[in-house]
Amino acid sequence: MGHGITILFKADVTVDNRALNGRSTKSFRAEKRWDPILAELNPGDYVFIEFGHNDEKVDKPAVGVSLADFKINLVNYVKETRSKKAFPVLLTPISRRSFKNGVLLDSHGDYPRITRQVADSLGVPLIDMLVKTESLLNRLGEEPSIKLFNYVDSGNVNYPNGKKDNTHLSPEGAKQVAGLVVKGIKELNLVKSLK
């Protein structure tokens, strides 16, 4: 999603995408990936913070966190961003493509709810990507939504045995989901430099 968003802004905006798959509020910090972001923040910068997919993996102690720790971690990201006079924006995680008998299921538990609570209690703008992507997936339906995710046939250079990934986005999915983020930015009237 982060790569797809860059082209949606005018040239006067620099998008510095530091997102990495597989990371949580805990592991992103433990791997020292947050430190350079915080060090390089300037007053007036926006920091889009989206976690939850991996935080929920509590069976993996290096990654997963309880709901209580997830909340503490989000609060810390917000407060540290604000300490640099930058603007945090929270995003709920996007929906996985998890259909059962034609019905899209929520696989994130209470992690999106905690993100919403933190946004509300700290007065942080929120883009509810779970709601936006659930709407997109439901509109497309179970089979047509495959095109948004990393589905490749066997023989692919990167995936010789093929891949059916209902979490990570295809280039088309990244483009569409980035468009939903931009829609959220416009709804919140955050940035004036959108194309």
Q: Over range 12-30, report the average pLDDT.
A: 87
Most confident of 10-24, 126-140, 141-155, 175-189: 126-140
Tell which residue, 34, 50, 39, has the closest CA to residue 2: 50
Positive or negative, the CA dihedral 157, 162, 166, 170 is: positive
Q: Please tell me the distance from the alpha carbon of residue 154 to that of residue 176, in angstroms, as a whole number.
A: 25
pLDDT at 3: 52
Distance CA 75, CA 79 (A): 6
* Residue 191 pLDDT greater than 90, yes or no: no
CA distance linking residue 92 with residue 109, whole number of Å: 12
The SS3 of residue 75 is helix
Residue 85 is encoded by which pair of tokens? Answer: 């006079």
Quick one: average pLDDT of 12-24?
A: 83
Q: Is the pLDDT of residue 132 over 90?
A: yes
Single out the residue of 162, 79, 161, 94 nearest to residue 124, CA to CA.
79
Q: Is the pLDDT of residue 186 over 80?
A: yes
pLDDT for res 9 = 66
41-75 per-position pLDDT tens digit: 999 999 999 999 999 999 999 999 999 999 999 99
Decide if pLDDT at 104 tops 70: yes
Residue 194: predicted pLDDT: 46
**Domain 2-188 top-level CATH class:** alpha beta
Is 161's pLDDT higher than 60?
yes
Predicted confidence at residue 19, as pLDDT, reads 83
Confidence of residue 195 (pLDDT cuts 50, 70, 90): very low
Alpha-carbon 103 to chain mean position: 23
- CA distances 52 to 7, 118, 136, 194, Å, are 26, 13, 19, 27
